[in-house]
Structure 1
Amino acid sequence: MKKYLYLGITLSVLLSSCTQETKVEQVVYEGSAKEAIIDNLLSRRAIRKFTDQQVSQDQLDTIMKATIYAPSALNKQAWEIRFIQNPKIIAEINQRFLTFAQGKEFQGSAAKYREPGFSISHHAPTFVVIATEKGAAHARLDAGIALQNILLSSHALGLGTCPLGTIVPILNLPENADLLRLINIPEDYEVTINVALGYPAESPTAPVRYSDKVKVIR
């Protein structure tokens, strides 16, 4: 249930000899709505097994809206975000990783790249690219905030996500610039993070959280 607190605030502002009244609406979540928000934050997990079911356009619309509502420094929104559902492009991204990976060692799931049928995006049907403006002071931080909006809004819709960092520097290599042009990433932007997105085929347990890393200073 949403409880709306209306704060009637009259601001006397001299603008072209006109006085404007601004009514501010503050939304306070209580009860089940508040609990749902907190539960969404605490129950989200990185998903590395997906079904074949594709994310719908309605779901993408909701996720994209949540994404562009992420705060950014000076509201510059110095990002370009692509939700790729074309299987040929996703397969090509995976092949570029495999080509680069030959003879190299990686950590995490990428270490299994020699296995048959390997997918750098865990066979998710949607591959998300978040690119940021090169040299923009706060662009990477803004991308991280936008990323979290993607993760949380997707989870709220019953979808699964996994941030993908290993492929990032590979997509930014000069020999892969054609891929970025293919998905209309401007030349003055670079890939900052990627996301695997789809319906989860697993329910992983939460890894250990280190509560001593967060402290209150009074």
Structure 2
Amino acid sequence: MLSCKQDTPVEQKVYKGTSQQAILDNILTRRSIRKYTDQQVTQAQIDTIMKCAIFAPSALNKQPWEVRVVQNKQILKEINDRFLNFAQGKEFQGSAAHYREPGFSIFHNSPTLIVIARDKNSGTSSLDSGIILQNILLSSHAIGLGTCPIGSLVPILNLPENQDILKLLNIPEGYEVSINISLGYAAETPTAPKRIPERVKIIH
């Protein structure tokens, strides 16, 4: 059994100056993008984002997620059609409320859709999915791409009648979709919505 003294120390890297500011700026300037160009993201960009994604922390390092990067146009159309079929006659909030408009896309016509599924048998997988989500959002922004989390698609993909979509995406049994992300080149520059600093309290 190794003692603590025998363990190789891990160097803690601290960013200073321009590197530190770049990290902080990346967090503060990321916005949800709901308009995209037709330009597809590259495999190299996907590789960078997914490397950052799987380095997200998770409880006991269980990594209770499955991630699918969907660029197949037929599958994307089918997913959008499934949402539209479900939406008929219903009311939604946010961008999903515009589903009756011509050319509507639940993932904002982004050329890539990322689907994150969670292990239903893990009590921490919902939280862990949120952490990997943030890694994807921030790493995408860092390399000049836009993203938007899409929650309104989650319950639709988890419906029993849409399990064929999950099988098509090779999502294992015992997993369900926890969040989706549109990904592509931004065709808009939205301003930051108002934040509520009063919800942060410092207890001395």
Q: TM-score, normalised by structure 1?
A: 0.91
Partner of 1:196 in structure 2?
182
What SS does structure 2 have at the residue aligned with 1:152? Answer: helix
Partner of 2:139 in structure 1?
153
Q: Determine which of 56, 60, 80 is the counterpart of 1:74.
A: 60
| Structure 1 residue 87 displacement after superposition | 0.8
Residues 21/73 of structure 1: CA separation in 2 closer, same or farther (3 Å cut) = closer
Q: Distance in 2 between matches of 1:23 and 1:112?
A: 54
| Structure 1 residue 25 displacement after superposition | 1.0
Once the two structures are superposed, residues 143-190 of structure 1 have per-residue CA deviations (whole angstroms, 9 ceiling, x without a partner) of: 000000000000000000000000100000010000000010012100
**Residues 1:43 and 2:33 are matched in the alignment:** no
**Residues 1:113 and 2:91 are matched in the alignment:** no
Once the two structures are superposed, residues 100-153 of structure 1 have per-residue CA deviations (whole angstroms, 9 ceiling, x without a partner) of: 001111111111111110000000000010000113100000000000000000
Structure 2: gaps spanning 5 or more residues:
none
Partner of 1:185 in structure 2?
171
What SS does structure 2 have at the residue aligned with 1:217? Answer: coil
What SS does structure 1 have at the residue aligned with 2:11? Answer: strand
Higher RCO (C-alpha under 8 Å, 6+ residues apart): 2
**Residues 1:130 and 2:120 are matched in the alignment:** no
| Structure 1 residue 21 displacement after superposition | 5.2
Q: Distance in 2 between matches of 1:141 and 1:106?
A: 25
Partner of 1:54 in structure 2?
40
**Residues 1:34 and 2:23 are matched in the alignment:** no
Residues 75/21 of structure 1: CA separation in 2 closer, same or farther (3 Å cut) = closer
Residues 82/21 of structure 1: CA separation in 2 closer, same or farther (3 Å cut) = closer
Partner of 1:166 in structure 2?
152
Partner of 1:5 in structure 2?
none
Q: TM-score, normalised by structure 2?
A: 0.97
Runs of 4+ deviating beyond 6 Å: none
Structure 1: gaps spanning 5 or more residues:
1-11
Q: Distance in 1 between matches of 2:157 and 2:138?
A: 25
Q: Percent identity?
A: 66
* Structure 1 letter corresponding to 2:110: A
Q: Distance in 2 between matches of 1:21 and 1:63?
A: 31
* Structure 2 letter corresponding to 1:186: P
Taking only aligned residues, the RMSD between alpha carbons, in angstroms, comes to: 1.2
